[in-house]
Structure 1
Amino acid sequence: MSIELLLNLQQEVRRLFVAGSALAEGDLRLSKLVPSLRKIGEAAPVFSRLADAAEGLLSAPRAASSVKLLELSTLLSAILHTQGKTDVQGNPQPIESAGLQLSTELTYRRLHPMLTALTTKGQGRLEQLRQSYEERSFLDLRVIPAICGALDDVYAEIPEFVQDKMIPEIGQAAVPVLRTGLNLQGGKGDARRLKLLYQLQGDLVLELVKEAGDSGSLELKLAAIELLGGYPDQEDFLLEQSAEKRREVRQAAYYALARLGTPKAIGRLLEASKSKGGEQVIDAIRACDELALHKRIIIEADQELSRCLELAGKERVTAIGQLYTYIRCLEGHGHQLAAEALPLVKRLLHTEAFIVADTEAVQETAADLLLELNSEEADAFGIELHTLYKRKFIGYSFRAAYRRLSLTELYDRYAEDVKGRSASAKSLQSALQSLVNSQLYEDGERGYAVPEGAWDSRWVHLFAEQGMTELVCCFAREGDRGIPAYLTSKLEERARINDHQTLNVLTTLFRINYKKAPELLLELLRSQGKRMFYYMDIRLQRMIALLPKSYATELRIIAEGMAYESVKQHMIELVEALEAAPDDAASERGSGVWEWIKNKMS
């Protein structure tokens, strides 16, 4: 029997129901189906009944056509209901359930924004995913396919967030979907799936990881090599991959061998460091926790130094490059290797024949390593470098001395060297500024002054004498004679309110409780052109918050004259908050009033 013929007849019957049965008499489209129905009716009598009913409708007068159309439709519907199939081709197979432990209690309205973010393109999607993550609405059975599908998203931050945050919390419920979606010949998204499967199931997917390493695409191969670094029985495979032609594969294998840390792995990494392109293995060696490797590199570096001192021409250049590779490999493990590495570093920095122009990169790396050793003996040697080679290593010497000398000894020894614009003075100034910066950012947020008692009090006057205003601002303390006068002099040269140095100086004057600081700030605010205020620096906001309430009226006048509406509104909010501040907050110094105003404006 022909289902297609029955469906065609059903379509014509529906058409006549819509058009009206009165139009069925002699209908050409229905008439064309009758011969086919008669022919099939020779084998199946029910089709002959359909043909009779169709002819009855075609020849029926208008008054009886509705009854005939209903008879044809009823018979056709009964026949169609007998033609459906409930079985499928093939043999039954078990299916793996996905995430049945997750709930489906949320309404689709709640899920829709997250599903849209996971399955479409455009801005704001990552923020939506973060919100869904915080609300825990992603822990729903219905969104697992979309979440796993987002591992292929072209906007890198989306799959990274899904991989790092969402799927690990979904847990085992995501495994079936990840397995189904995994293509060993795929790209970055499939590499993420492989890593997640291993993260969730460990050794249960080890064979799959091995298969990806043997025959997967480049992305899958790299992921598999990374994962196999924890299995000693994969040593031969990793050694083989470390000799692969493709650079990416070699580097992945180096990292895996560094993680493995077996004698053969260490030997291969050492061999790679000696080969052409040895810089490719430096980061992997740094990541290796087996100090036996680094101790062997120290021995090799010592021998390479001897070669450098004996060779000339291209051979010397090659030897210097190799030595540079060795020294860089030791970075990150200096303190652990202090006893073994110090003799090498001493020899490097104490051999006058080596302190020449073509070895400067090696010298600087060795000096960095010396500081990293962080031992008493190493720092003592660093201090000895103070005046050697025309004070070439004075910056490193100063860092070592800061750790070992008293504050008085440090100043007495190095203060004179800070003066001037010589190369050694600039090197020392840079080292000093670097130390200060590390102290200012110690807690993650930038401070404005070095810790109390961290430096000799004489430094601030030396910096003022040398015109080093930024350091003066960091070192100034309440009661330092002459420092307020020095700082205020820096505001008299057409100071611009949003200039970095101006803000630093004003902040320092407020910090050391200089009496005239509020008036200086107000005077600068008055003197600026209305277009000078194109943003409100956080330091400026803090200082305005510290002004007396009596300044509020004039501050409002200044705000009204600002050209940029956003800055104007920000300034007015500050003024209003200052006016509303309780008297006890307004009378505080430091952060009290500022914290109150921040809460008021939030």
Structure 2
Amino acid sequence: MSIDILFELQQETRRLFIAGSAMAANDLRLNRLLPGLKKLGETAPVFNRLAAATEELLGASREDSAAKLLELSTLLVAILYTQGKTDAAGEPQPVQGAGIALATDIPYRKLHPFIEALTTKGQGRLEQIRVSYEDGSFLDLRALPAVCAALEDSYAEIPDFVQEKLIPAFGASAVPVLQSQLNLQGGKGDGRRLQLLHRQLGATMLELVAEGASTGSTEVKLAAISILGAYADQEPLLLALSRDKRKDVRAAAYAALASIGTAPALDRLYEAAVSKDGEIAVEPIRQSGSPQLLERLIRQGEQALAQYSNGEAKLRTEASGQLLVVLHALEGAGKKMASEAFPFVQRLLTTGAYLVPETENAQEAAAELLLEMDLPEADQLAIELGNGGNGPFIRYGFRAAFRRLTPTAVYDRYAGQFNSAKSKTAKELLAAIREVVYRDAYDEDEDRYGEPVAREEAWDSRWLSLFIRLDQPGLVCMFAQRPDKEVTAYLTGKLREARWGVKDAGDMLATLFRIRYKEAPERFMELLERGAARNMYYMNGQQRRLVASMPKSYAPRLRAFGEKLTYESLRAEWMTQIDEIEQAPESAEEENGRGLWGWLKSKMS
């Protein structure tokens, strides 16, 4: 028996409850349903009663309509309850649980912001996710599906955080959800799922990973290939994938072959290096670190150099590209391969036909490789190549000279080439000096701002006067060691012309404090009071240290300056630091603020 007509009648009675029972008199919709109800009455007496109740409502007066509508609705609801079914079609089947042992005892009010951050769009979501991660409230069964689904979030930092932090924290509990969401034809999120599943299940996943590498979407294929690099028995599949028509797939296969490191794998890397794939084969070759492979590439480089010297224009272009690939592949292995690589690099850098502007990138790569070898003969060649400001080699020659010669000899050799700071040779040398200072004196203090300080014993003292003459404030700051009159006159003179935020101003002030120049606090205060409040938007580490270096006696002037700052958050930070200066013990002002800075750091940590 069809009960559709009963549901239609229920809908009409609800309409009349809303519109008012007085509207029921001779209602067209109820009249349309009445014949069908009478026909149902032929099957059961109760439907006759339903049809009669409908007729009574249609003919009821305005005063009686409410009672009649309620009577019809009550009878209709009772009938509908008798017509429902509670069983499902089909045969019963056992339900298999996921076996996830996760609690659900975290109040949902606390969990909801985390789930919302994972499942919605907008700003501030990553911060909320990190908060939930840090307090551990994310480890809840109700959050797990949303966490795994967030691997596909469009904001790249969220999937990265989920993959690196959240899902590993769930451990094996995440496996069933990851498996249910995995689609080998999916996108980057599915590639992440495959990698996470392999992290939990290991080699038992190998068949599925191989399937993903063979037939998956590009993103899944790349993830699967990265996994296969840990399994030497997957070499045939990786060799096949290294000939895929897609460049990114070939690149991933080369990286996996480098991890395997078998003879066929290395042969394929060599084949790629000398083909159109040379550029994408470089990093996997470096990763492999195979001396045999690098030796083959050096021999290939020698052939390419001969081809460049003797070939036509087209052949010279191909040979030049090949030489660059070989040199880049040797980066990082210069010291290990020094005995094999030095003759090749020496021949390349002394072949006149090759030393042309078109090959300058390769020339610089070769010169860098010379220094990496750390051989006396290699450094001597670098010095000779840079004689007279020769092309790009002056920088590498200076670095080699610094390593091999005395400070006096280095100054005598190079100082005479500074006719002005604007010549090409001078610019190359100044860049080399900065690079050497950074390499030689960089301290790994994460809180360090500004330029490093040159080691006094490693440099001739005459450099400082030369940098002042060349008007190089950054290098003067690097080389200043004590409150010399020439240095302080130069730096204070530059500061009188400076404005807050201009290049080198912070370094010059920091240098004056470092060399214990007595007037450094006043010079700093003068700079602030020349309108710095209008141009100050935040404070970096160097600026905080400068403020912390000020004596207590300057606290009133510093506080008065802070009142002029435009931004409330900056003003609050400034005032907090002034409060700390005023509260510091007298002993913290030793060494012109150095002790005070250490005391402040301990207070702020």
| Band of TM-score, shorter chain | 0.7 to 0.9
Match of 2:148 in 1: 148
Quick one: structure 1 residues 587 and 358, their matched pair in 2 at CA, closer, same or farther if it must change by over 3 Å? closer
Q: Report whether the alignment pairs 1:498 with 2:490.
A: no
Of 481-490 and 378-387, the range deviating more from structure 2 = 378-387
Match of 1:592 in 2: 595
Q: In structure 2, the residue corresponding to 1:500 is in which secondary structure?
A: coil
Of 8-17 and 190-199, the range deviating more from structure 2 = 8-17
Quick one: structure 1 residues 187 and 505, their matched pair in 2 at CA, closer, same or farther if it must change by over 3 Å? same
User: In the TM superposition, what whole-angstrom CA distance separates every residue of 1:315-373 from its partner, at most 9, and x where no partner exists?
Assistant: 22221221111111221322332232222222222444433333322211111112222
Matches within 5 A, 1:16-415: 33=33, 35-37=35-37, 39-40=39-40, 45=44, 48-52=45-49, 54-55=51-52, 58-59=55-56, 73=74, 77=78, 80-81=81-82, 83-89=84-90, 92=93, 94-97=95-98, 100-375=100-375, 378-387=378-387, 390=390, 393-407=393-407, 410-411=410-411, 413-415=413-415
The answer to whether the 8 Å contact 2:56/2:68 transfers is no
CA-CA distance at 1:573 after TM superposition: 4.6
Cα distance in 2 for residues equivalent to 1:398 and 1:464? 20
User: In the TM superposition, what whole-angstrom CA distance separates every residue of 1:184-237 from its partner, at most 9, and x where no partner exists?
Assistant: 222222222222222222222222222222222222222222222333333233
Quick one: structure 1 residues 417 and 571, their matched pair in 2 at CA, closer, same or farther if it must change by over 3 Å? same
Match of 1:482 in 2: 486
User: In the TM superposition, what whole-angstrom CA distance separates every residue of 1:50-109 from its partner, at most 9, and x where no partner exists?
Assistant: 3235426745999999699669846853663463132343662653516x2111010110
The answer to whether the 8 Å contact 1:213/1:222 transfers is yes
The answer to whether the 8 Å contact 1:13/1:73 transfers is no
Of 178-187 and 557-566, the range deviating more from structure 2 = 557-566
User: In the TM superposition, what whole-angstrom CA distance separates every residue of 1:295-326 from its partner, at most 9, and x where no partner exists?
Assistant: 21112112222222222432222212211111
Cα distance in 2 for residues equivalent to 1:435 and 1:188? 42
CA-CA distance at 1:581 after TM superposition: 3.5
User: In the TM superposition, what whole-angstrom CA distance separates every residue of 1:95-125 from its partner, at most 9, and x where no partner exists?
Assistant: 3516x21110101100111111111111001
Cα distance in 2 for residues equivalent to 1:251 and 1:538? 41
Consecutive unaligned residues in structure 2, runs of 5 or more: none
Task: In structure 2, give the amino acid aligned to 1:316.
Answer: R
The structure 1 residue matched to 2:520, chosen from 499, 517, 524, is 517
The answer to whether the 8 Å contact 1:175/1:200 transfers is yes
**How many positions carry a matched residue from both structures?**
597
The answer to whether the 8 Å contact 1:24/1:57 transfers is no
CA-CA distance at 1:536 after TM superposition: 4.7
The answer to whether the 8 Å contact 1:225/1:252 transfers is yes
The answer to whether the 8 Å contact 1:27/1:58 transfers is no
Of 101-110 and 563-572, the range deviating more from structure 2 = 563-572
The answer to whether the 8 Å contact 1:53/1:68 transfers is no
Cα distance in 2 for residues equivalent to 1:441 and 1:32? 92
Consecutive unaligned residues in structure 1, runs of 5 or more: none
Q: Report whether the alignment pairs 1:545 with 2:567.
A: no
CA-CA distance at 1:255 after TM superposition: 1.9
CA-CA distance at 1:17 after TM superposition: 7.7
User: In the TM superposition, what whole-angstrom CA distance separates every residue of 1:457-513 from its partner, at most 9, and x where no partner exists?
Assistant: 513334334333211211211254632233233334x23243232322221111111
Of 447-456 and 131-140, the range deviating more from structure 2 = 447-456
The structure 1 residue matched to 2:442, chosen from 427, 436, 440, is 440
Cα distance in 2 for residues equivalent to 1:35 and 1:135? 67
Quick one: structure 1 residues 512 and 31, their matched pair in 2 at CA, closer, same or farther if it must change by over 3 Å? same
Q: Report whether the alignment pairs 1:578 with 2:575.
A: no
CA-CA distance at 1:9 after TM superposition: 4.7
Quick one: structure 1 residues 571 and 311, their matched pair in 2 at CA, closer, same or farther if it must change by over 3 Å? same
Quick one: structure 1 residues 514 and 217, their matched pair in 2 at CA, closer, same or farther if it must change by over 3 Å? same
Match of 1:426 in 2: 427
Cα distance in 1 for residues equivalent to 2:245 and 2:604? 61
The answer to whether the 8 Å contact 1:6/1:80 transfers is no
Task: In structure 2, give the amino acid aligned to 1:308.
Answer: Y
Cα distance in 2 for residues equivalent to 1:391 and 1:28? 99
The answer to whether the 8 Å contact 1:559/1:572 transfers is yes
**TM-score w.r.t. length of structure 2:** 0.86
User: In the TM superposition, what whole-angstrom CA distance separates every residue of 1:544-565 from its partner, at most 9, and x where no partner exists?
Assistant: 3333333333444444556666
CA-CA distance at 1:146 after TM superposition: 1.0
Cα distance in 1 for residues equivalent to 2:537 and 2:49? 89
The answer to whether the 8 Å contact 1:104/1:141 transfers is yes
Cα distance in 2 for residues equivalent to 1:196 and 1:254? 22
Q: In structure 1, the residue corresponding to 2:504 is in which secondary structure?
A: helix
Q: Report whether the alignment pairs 1:455 with 2:452.
A: no
Identity of aligned residues (%): 45
Cα distance in 2 for residues equivalent to 1:38 and 1:138? 61
CA-CA distance at 1:574 after TM superposition: 4.4
Of 344-353 and 556-565, the range deviating more from structure 2 = 556-565
CA-CA distance at 1:408 after TM superposition: 5.0
Cα distance in 2 for residues equivalent to 1:312 and 1:389? 31
Cα distance in 2 for residues equivalent to 1:186 and 1:102? 28
Match of 1:472 in 2: 476
Cα distance in 2 for residues equivalent to 1:337 and 1:397? 21
The answer to whether the 8 Å contact 1:477/1:512 transfers is yes
Cα distance in 2 for residues equivalent to 1:401 and 1:570? 47
CA-CA distance at 1:139 after TM superposition: 0.9
Task: In structure 2, give the amino acid aligned to 1:488.
Answer: T
Quick one: structure 1 residues 38 and 429, their matched pair in 2 at CA, closer, same or farther if it must change by over 3 Å? same
Task: In structure 2, give the amino acid aligned to 1:285.
Answer: I
Cα distance in 1 for residues equivalent to 2:321 and 2:56? 102
